[in-house]
Amino acid sequence: MIQYHRATPKLNAALQDSQEKFSLFRREKALFDLPATADSIADRAEPVQFSPLHYVSGNPIVEPVPDHLRQAVFGLGCFWGAERLFWQLPGVFSTAVGYAGGITGNPRYEDVCSGRTGHTEVVLVFYDPATVSFQTLLGAFWESHDPTQGMGQGNDRGSQYRSAIYTVGDEQLQQAKQGKVQFQAALRDSNYAEITTEIMPLGEFYYAEGYHQQYLAKNPDGYCSLAGTGACYAPAKADT
């Protein structure tokens, strides 16, 4: 015979607690799983607002830029510290932070934080290849974070903090993939796990809100999560 249990305050509280834990589990899972298109946040109609000029250099962070410049896009955790890393390199014309690798068009920061856009936080770098090579940028990228951490970086957890290189052109794609192999060997020597960096051609780059742009120049004591592994990036001589 089936026995039915009368609801009691204690039972109701237990059920509510169970439902809240399941809801929390689903929200946390969404942060670490890339969404399907059907589950992603719908496109925003308008892009975010930001200054077109770099707060530090005064150079433009949007096209048009001088014809001799090239672009590179990197994700290595929270984009505040990552952007400062690159704008300080000689030969870098300007930088901007934004979102890439996902689905939702014109996302807002809160959209990306939900895990339902598929985007990761990235830095767009405009650089002069006559002064700084893509290999030098790769070296700064590999050595300044831990690319083995999957969906997160340090204390920042979730798909928006995943390691990524979004390439512009076949040459960048080839060098990024070769660099991954070379840096993996260095990491193994230090007993690190496999690299989880996402390497693929750049789709759409969406600029982040103005208050994120050059954040650590505006807030010198602000949060910076960059921390490398101690391994050194040494590209093959043919790639330098």
**Position 123: which residue type?**
V
Helices and strands (H, E) in the chain, number of each type: 6, 8
**Position 155: which residue type?**
N
Q: Quote the CA–CA distance of 175 and 49 in Å, as a whole number.
A: 34
Domains and CATH numbers, the chain: 9-239 (3.30.1060.10)
The pTM for the full model equals: 0.87
Q: Quote the CA–CA distance of 195 and 214 in Å, as a whole number.
A: 28
Helix (H, G, I), strand (E, B) or coil at 97: strand
Active-site residues, by number, are 78
Question: What pLDDT does residue 77 have?
Answer: 98
Per-residue pLDDT of the chain (240 residues; tens, 9 = 90+): 544 445 556 555 554 554 544 344 444 556 889 999 999 999 999 999 999 999 999 999 999 999 999 999 999 999 999 999 999 999 999 999 999 999 999 999 999 999 999 999 999 999 999 999 999 999 999 999 999 999 999 999 999 999 999 999 999 999 999 999 999 999 999 999 999 999 999 999 999 999 999 999 999 999 999 999 999 999 876 554
Rg, C-alpha atoms of the chain = 21
Task: Give how far Cα 38 sits from Cα of 31, 102, 158, 165, Å.
Answer: 16, 13, 20, 25
| β-bridge pairing 198-201 and 92-100 | unpaired
